[in-house]
């Protein structure tokens, strides 16, 4: 037997065996570290990991490493439920968000109410302005009407002051449509009663004016008793037309009974 050859083979076998064992051990160490880190991250209690062919002392060392990692991460393996101290920040964040949401909702409601109030104020202002404009227009119209009535009354008064029996007769004839025959009868009738004087007053009764109407007769014509000779003529023609139908019929009655 060659002694050198034998020793070389022996060394080769020993070295190969050592390398083979080292190759088997290294993956186990890697797997162990990964498992320990995962267990620590999940808050697990120490987990003793043993691999085939690995001494128990190595397993104990791995467990101590897992506990150390858990402690450094602030995790405990005694419970899987988060503590109130851990949940407090999350609860505060949730409450803060809820408060912000409530505040935003309240602010939105306040803004909506303010907008509605502003719109209502605008509507009220527009309504008030329109009502004021309507009142001003109504007052202007009333003032214009009153002014026109006053002017008409003034003109009538002036015409009455300047009127003469001739002007009254002309007016009466125009009211009869220019009928000469009827106007001739009317001229005779009122010439007899008042001489076409609008201020004629019967001393023994209430007969007054050109047609010499009693107070009760005035009421039947719808025209109030007046000193205006033209209005007296209007009332006289209304009375004659309703009672006799024409001035000639009224004149005939006056001739027979001395009144009409």
Average pLDDT over residues 5-9: 44
Q: Decide if 226 contacts 198 (C-beta within 8 A).
A: no
Confidence of residue 171 (pLDDT cuts 50, 70, 90): very high
Q: 71 pLDDT band (50/70/90 cuts)?
A: low
Specify whether the CB–CB gap between 260 and 250 falls below 8 A. Answer: yes
Rounded-to-integer distance, Cα 1 and Cα 50, Å: 44
Q: Which residue has the higher pLDDT, 83 or 13?
A: 83
Q: How many CB atoms lie within 10 A of CB 251?
A: 22
Check residue 170 and give its pLDDT.
Answer: 96
Q: Which two tokens mark 208?
A: 């007054």
Question: What are the residues facing 201 on neighbouring strands?
Answer: 208
Position 105 pLDDT exceeds 50? yes
Dig out the tokens for 133 from the structure. Answer: 């404009």
Q: Is the pLDDT of residue 3 over 90?
A: no
Look at residues 188, 192, 186, 225 and name the one whose alpha carbon lies nearest to residue 209.
Answer: 225
Residue of 107 and 197 predicted with greater confidence: 197
The tens digit of pLDDT for each residue in 201-219 reads 999 999 999 999 999 999 8
Strand partners, 208: 201, 213
Global pTM reads 0.44
Contact 64, 47 (CB under 8 A): no
Domain ranges of the chain: 3-73, 88-162, 165-257
Q: Please say whether the beta carbons of 216 and 208 come within 8 A.
A: no
- C-alpha 49/C-alpha 57 separation (Å) is 11
At the topology level, CATH places domain 165-257 in Lysozyme (1.10.530)
């Amino acid at each position: 037997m060659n002694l050198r050859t034998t020793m070389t083979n022996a060394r080769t076998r020993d070295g190969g065996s050592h390398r083979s064992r080292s190759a088997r051990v290294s993956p186990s160490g890697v797997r162990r570290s990964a498992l320990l880190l995962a267990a620590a991250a999940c808050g697990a209690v120490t987990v003793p990991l043993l691999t085939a062919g690995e001494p128990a002392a190595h397993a104990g060392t791995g467990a101590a490493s897992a506990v150390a990692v858990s402690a450094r991460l602030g995790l405990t393996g005694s419970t899987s439920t988060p503590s109130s101290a851990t949940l407090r920040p999350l609860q505060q964040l949730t409450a803060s968000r809820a408060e912000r949401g409530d505040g935003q909702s309240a602010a939105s409601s306040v803004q909506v109410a303010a907008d509605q109030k502003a719109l209502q104020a605008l509507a009220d202002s527009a309504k008030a302005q329109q009502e004021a404009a309507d009142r001003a227009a109504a007052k202007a119209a009333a003032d214009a009407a009153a002014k026109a009535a006053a002017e008409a009354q003034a003109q009538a008064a002036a015409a009455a002051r300047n009127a003469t029996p001739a002007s009254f007769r002309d007016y009466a004839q125009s009211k009869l449509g220019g009928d000469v025959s009827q106007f001739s009868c009317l001229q005779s009738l009122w010439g007899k009663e008042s001489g076409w004087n609008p201020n004629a007053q019967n001393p023994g009764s209430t007969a007054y004016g050109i047609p010499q109407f009693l107070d009760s007769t005035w009421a039947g014509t719808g025209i109030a008793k007046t000193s205006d000779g033209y209005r007296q003529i209007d009332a006289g023609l209304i009375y004659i037309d309703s009672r006799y139908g024409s001035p000639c019929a009224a004149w005939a009655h006056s001739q027979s009974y001395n009144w009409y």
